Amino acid sequence: MVKETIFSSIIKHVIPADILYQDELVTAFRDILPKAPIHILIVPNILIPNVNEIKYKHEKTFGRMFTVAAKIAKQENIHEQGYRLIINCNKHGGQEIPHVHMHLLGGIQLGPIL
């Protein structure tokens, strides 16, 4: 049994968050500790703990995460200058919350990842 995280509570509106977008597949909200002027998390509504657990049946959801990321980047007016999408996986990837999520980071010149 996979344990729900704080993200499930945000998706169900049980705890507050600055939700920018929600549909039947994904929810997007501002990161509580932003690492850039724009830092938004795009999260599948169903609990998939990490990228290793993504199955073929989830492809529509992960496609939606990208289209929502692009839509929000445009809304935030960072689409022309650019932004970064990151999905961390497990310990070495720096994943803290075991509910897979995409970081959308922008609004500043980002440094190299490595």
| Residues that are catalytic | 101
Residue closer to ligand AMP by CB (options 31, 76) is 31
Count of residues binding ligand AMP (CB under 6 A)?
12
Q: Candidates 94, 112, 113, 114: give the one binding ligand AMP (CB under 6 A).
A: 94
What is the per-residue binding string for ligand AMP in 53-82, x denoting contact by CB under 6 A?
Answer: ------------------------------
Q: Candidates 33, 56, 60, 91: give the one binding ligand AMP (CB under 6 A).
A: 33
Residue closer to ligand AMP by CB (options 16, 56) is 16
With binding defined as CB under 6 A, does residue 6 bind ligand AMP?
A: yes
Contact 41, 33 (CB under 8 A): no
Contact 38, 105 (CB under 8 A): yes
With binding defined as CB under 6 A, does residue 97 bind ligand AMP?
A: yes
Q: Which residues pair with 30 in a beta bridge?
A: 40
First to last CA, the chain: 35
Separation in Å, CA 63 to CA 21, 43, 59, 68, 107: 15, 12, 6, 9, 24
- Alpha-carbon gap, residue 44 to 16, rounded angstroms: 17
- Alpha-carbon gap, residue 100 to 4, rounded angstroms: 11
Q: Kindly list the residues in this chain that would bind ligand AMP in the complex (CB under 6 A).
A: 6, 17, 29, 31-33, 41, 88, 94-97
